[in-house]
Amino acid sequence: MIFDVSHPEIQDAVRRALAEDIGSGDITTNLCVSEDAVATGRMVARQNLTLAGVELLPLIFTGGTFDQKRKSGDRLHDGDEIAVVEGPARALLTGERTALNFVQRLSGIATLASAYVCAVEGTGCRILDTRKTTPGLRRLEKLAAAAGGATNHRMGLYEAVLIKNNHITAAGGVRAALERTRDAGVPVEIEVRTREELDEALAHGATHLLLDNLTPAEAKVWIAHINRRAVVELSGGITLGTARAYAETGADFLSSGAITHSAPAVDINFGLRLV
């Protein structure tokens, strides 16, 4: 899994995070620690997790030497070493919280995504993330979801057509919405809320359907009716406990906003020692 941190949005996110924390200077570190002190910082997992975001560390701890032990997407156990960085002690202390905030948060997303992927293993159904991300951090959080094995849904509104119920209402119906997007030049997916809307969508050439807030039993009946005439995504209230049942309905995809909006940060330690 490649966790590419070269994108300008990611570079900017790191700069903003450092500026937010440091401001005019790290008062505590500058008063307590000698300017010429050199230290080694060791980042270690304190629980089982799927790692994401370790590739950001050289952007945070600039001016030191960096030894990355593991990469995004790796499964770690409690006690596994993630990375070792050596450099000015002041720089390591000043960047510590920003580094942990990123890696703990992103690894939390990767860990939850991995749990969803494991829950549906063997069914042929794939897990999708959503746009329910932290404002300004979408690209990073989607990279983290991918590190956990999820498939990235559209990055933003510009990337694909997803006709939701409010679009259908505003457009004047399923048929009108589909006709207006026929020449979009990008993938088109439409949400259907009733069997009538489902049949109308299929009759007017829908190739990718979103079925929302159905029970697994209901979804199985609808998918049997669709009979492979369109790709099917299920969403709405799908949890780790129910993901397997939804996947076994024959759906092609399950989408979960929880992967990004509700993933708990994982426990990672950053220990410092003077050289």
Catalytic residues: 97, 132, 164, 191, 212
Helix or strand run (H / E) with residue 89: helix 89-119
Single out the residue of 85, 49, 36 nearest to residue 65, CA to CA: 85
Find the angle CA(37)-CA(43)-CA(46) to the nearest 5 degrees. 140
Strand, coil or helix: 206:
coil
Helix (H) or strand (E) holding 83: strand 81-88
The alpha-helical segments, DSSP class H, found in 120-229 are 138-147, 165-171, 174-180, 195-203, 216-226
Using DSSP, state whether 31 is helix, strand or coil: helix
Amino acid identity, position 139: R
Burial of 257 (0-12, 13-18, 19+ CB in 10 A): middle
Measured between its terminal Cα atoms, the distance across the chain in Å is 33
CA 197 to chain centre: 31
**Token reading at 30:** 């500058």
- Could you tell me which residues come within 8 angstroms of residue 266 by beta carbon, excluding any fewer than 6 positions away? 45, 46, 47, 49, 104, 107, 108, 111
